[in-house]
Amino acid sequence: MPELPEVETVRRGLEPVMEGARFDAVEARRRDLRWPLPKDFVARLEGQTVTGLGRRAKYLLADLSSGEVLLMHLGMSGSFRVFHDGGERKPGSYYHERNEQLAHDHVVFHMSSGALVTFNDPRRFGSMKLVPRAKLDQEPLLRALGPEPLGNAFDAAMLARACAGKKTSLKAALSDQRVVAGLGNIYVCEALHRAHLLPKRRASTIATRSGAPNERAVALVDAIKVVLQDAIRAGGSSLRDHKQTNGELGLFQHNFRVYDRAGQTCPTPGCTGTIKRIVQTGRSTFFCPVCQN
């Protein structure tokens, strides 16, 4: 499942061809994505200009000149491709291989920028929804989301408050979209390793009894921001490379310190530990039993 850095990379890849451009034509080849496409989907998009392309957690938000917002989610297997000036490029690189079969190109945007933007999704867990901008803060898909991890509102005090009294593990707490939005399995593992905290550690241990942050909360918030920023930077360079090579580079993979690295030596300087894999709430967790505690 694409995580926040991948979605942000996709946003940055789509921005130059979508922002300021008009939907000249829209093809809805398959309407049954995770939810059916909204009523009059094509008519509500055609002729509208994208005034801005933003992101909230793992949702892409295209502001339209009509006053509506096109909310897009990649789901499990969704991806966008951009065809422009005779060339093809994929905004964002994905750790898991994307499906390239045209049969799974369910939605196609013909933009006035000259770009063809296709949404491909073999498993159809992705979604598109149109919401009036004025009602965005009441949108059920977004309302329950916690703070953006890279935003100023997300700090040690806020994370400690959210974790205080929680009997669940840190892994579970950080994966909870109400605590912090957009973090998934990969970057939770990476952040916990960087903060030297065990995934199974009780979430409440990053807060004092009164709910104030301790040094663990400070380290964890720093680690979350750093791993996400690093991944977004790697995605940005993959984007530049895509323009030249059209290839799938998978650059994020090279940046993982623990994710999918069971049996390998821990990359923490001076640590002699070996990365272990365990299963927590049905998902793989990777960590170093030596330098994480």
DSSP for 168-184? Answer: SBHHHHHH-TTTSTT--
3 is catalytic: yes
Surface-to-core class of residue 31, CB atoms within 10 Å of its CB (0-12 exposed, 13-18 middle, 19+ buried): middle
Catalytic residue among 3, 68, 139, 190: 3
Q: Does 288 bind Zn ion (CB under 5 A)?
A: yes
* The one among 271, 278, 280, 283 contacting Zn ion by CB under 5 A: 271
Nearer to Zn ion, 114 or 289 (CB): 289
Q: How far is the CB of 289 from Zn ion (least distance, A)?
A: 8
Catalytic residue among 22, 233, 276, 283: 283
147 is catalytic: no
Instruction: Give the residue from 71, 82, 133, 134 showing the smallest Cα distance to 105.
Output: 82
Catalytic residue among 6, 8, 11, 58: 58
Nearer to Zn ion, 82 or 192 (CB): 192
Residues 231-270 that bind Zn ion (CB under 5 A): 266, 268
Q: Does 47 bind Zn ion (CB under 5 A)?
A: no
> What letter would DSSP give residue 157?
H
**Please, are residues 131 and 41 in contact by the beta-carbon 8 Å criterion?**
no
Cα gap 239→227, rounded to integer Å: 18
- Interface size with Zn ion, residues (CB under 5 A): 7
**Please, are residues 17 and 242 in contact by the beta-carbon 8 Å criterion?**
no
2 is catalytic: yes
Name the residues that contact Zn ion, by CB under 5 A.
Answer: 266, 268, 271, 273, 288, 290-291
Question: Which residues are known catalytic residues?
Answer: 2-3, 58, 283
